[in-house]
Amino acid sequence: MAKYIIIGAGLSGSVIAERIANVLKEKVLIIEKRNHIGGNCYDYKDKNNILVHKYGPHIFHTDYKEVWDYLSQFTDWIYYQHRVLGYIDGKYVPIPFNLDTLYQLLPKNLARGLEKKLIDKYGYNKKIPILELKKVKDKDLCFLAKIIYDKVFFNYSKKQWGLKPEEIEPLVTARVPVLLSHDDRYFQDRYQAIPKEGYTKLFEKILQNKNIEIRLGTDFKDVKNKLKYKKIFYTGPIDMFFDYKFGKLDYRSVNIDFQTYHMKSYQETAVINYPNNYDYTRITEFKKFALTESNYTTIGKEYPGNDGFMAWPILNEKNKKIFNKYWQEVEKIKKGNIFFIGRLAEYKYYDMDDAIATSLKLFHSVRDEL
């Protein structure tokens, strides 16, 4: 029994818990299925003191000053500009595809002419989704769009999602646009960094309050009929909450093969994508995030598929229709005492900063009724 219960100790649930405990001075019970807090942001130090992201690389980036200021209460930062390379045609080139990538993959004279056409049509420093670029009528830009689509997106999408780029939500492919500049950073946000002591320590500090109790290793579906509460904030899978009455929503899962080597550096940058070669989609070298000094290094090779941990919602038409049925059920109880929020509850592809911003917004909107 608790006045406020939160299902899930990931970003969305932890922020709500912190606000209730610190602002309202009320007690909160968090129920978490896993044996750790932090959701997919969870990290740990291996035997070589390298901070490993258990569920794949997480780089915090945001343009929201209020989100940056909020998190900065609980952590110091390692300022880090994320740069990703892709292994294409036997070369390591910048990803997202930018003007440098253009010149590295194509002859200089051809690249110069294509650059001029791109800038004339769209303007410098613009971000163009590949599916938009594919619609262009100009034959030269159409030629370029096909090269980018074939070499950067098509095979990567097939590995990552098991689907062609056209078969998933356009907003997903637009997350990795064609960048019309020489900026080789993966993100262009105002604030970019890694928590100095790691994400797990960040979550520990967010949840460090005598008013917050955490029950790890507890499955909501096993206890939901035993709970008594005034308000509940649910961040778990929405289809599970409703006992899959409209069917299961699809997620793409991933397995990560962690390997440690007796060498100071394994690869040029922290993350390298492999769109066309090998079965894995990318390799992450974790020590490059925290600039760890060690004679050893730990990498993670990612193999997406239908097993492993649940990673990304598959936002296609089939799943959107199923989700809408569940959300109609949410609307029926919305004025009650249950709130649905977060990646799993909203079946949404959330960046970390958006998840935090949404939780802060929800708290502010309902605090008077809490």
Q: Are residues 18 and 163 in the same domain?
A: no
Q: Where is average pLDDT lowest: 225-239, 326-340, 344-358?
A: 326-340
pLDDT(87) > 80: yes
Q: What is the pLDDT of residue 335?
A: 64
Segment 332-343, tens digit of pLDDT: 886 678 999 999
* CA quadruple 82, 96, 55, 203: dihedral sign: positive
CATH code: domain of residue 235:
3.40.50.720
Task: Indicate whether 184 belongs to any domain.
Answer: no
Q: Which two tokens stand for residue 36?
A: 């750790």
224 CB-side CA count, 13 A: 14
Q: What is the pLDDT of residue 272?
A: 98
Q: Are residues 232 and 150 in the same domain?
A: no
Task: Indicate whether 195 belongs to any domain.
Answer: no
CA separation for the pair 38, 245 (Å, rounded)? 29
Judged by phi (left if over 0) then psi (alpha if -120 to 50, else beta), residue 351 lies in: beta
Q: What is the pLDDT of residue 339?
A: 95
Q: Are residues 329 and 221 in the same domain?
A: yes
Segment 136-151, tens digit of pLDDT: 999 999 999 999 999 9
CA separation for the pair 70, 72 (Å, rounded)? 5
Percent of the chain with pLDDT over 70: 99
Task: Indicate whether 15 belongs to any domain.
Answer: yes
Q: Are residues 240 and 319 in the same domain?
A: yes
Task: Indicate whether 357 belongs to any domain.
Answer: yes
Task: Indicate whether 171 belongs to any domain.
Answer: yes
Segment 146-194, tens digit of pLDDT: 999 999 999 999 999 999 999 988 888 888 999 999 999 999 999 999 9
Segment 205-227 mean pLDDT: 94
Q: Are residues 148 and 218 in the same domain?
A: no
Task: Indicate whether 233 belongs to any domain.
Answer: yes
Q: Are residues 242 and 320 in the same domain?
A: yes
Q: Are residues 213 and 170 in the same domain?
A: no
- pTM to 2 decimal places: 0.94
The residue type of 218 is: T
Q: Are residues 11 and 109 in the same domain?
A: no
Task: Name the domain count of the chain.
Answer: 2
Which range of residues forms the domain containing residue 18?
Answer: 4-37+207-249+314-369
Q: Are residues 107 and 168 in the same domain?
A: yes
Count other C-beta atoms under 10 Å from residue 77's C-beta: 15
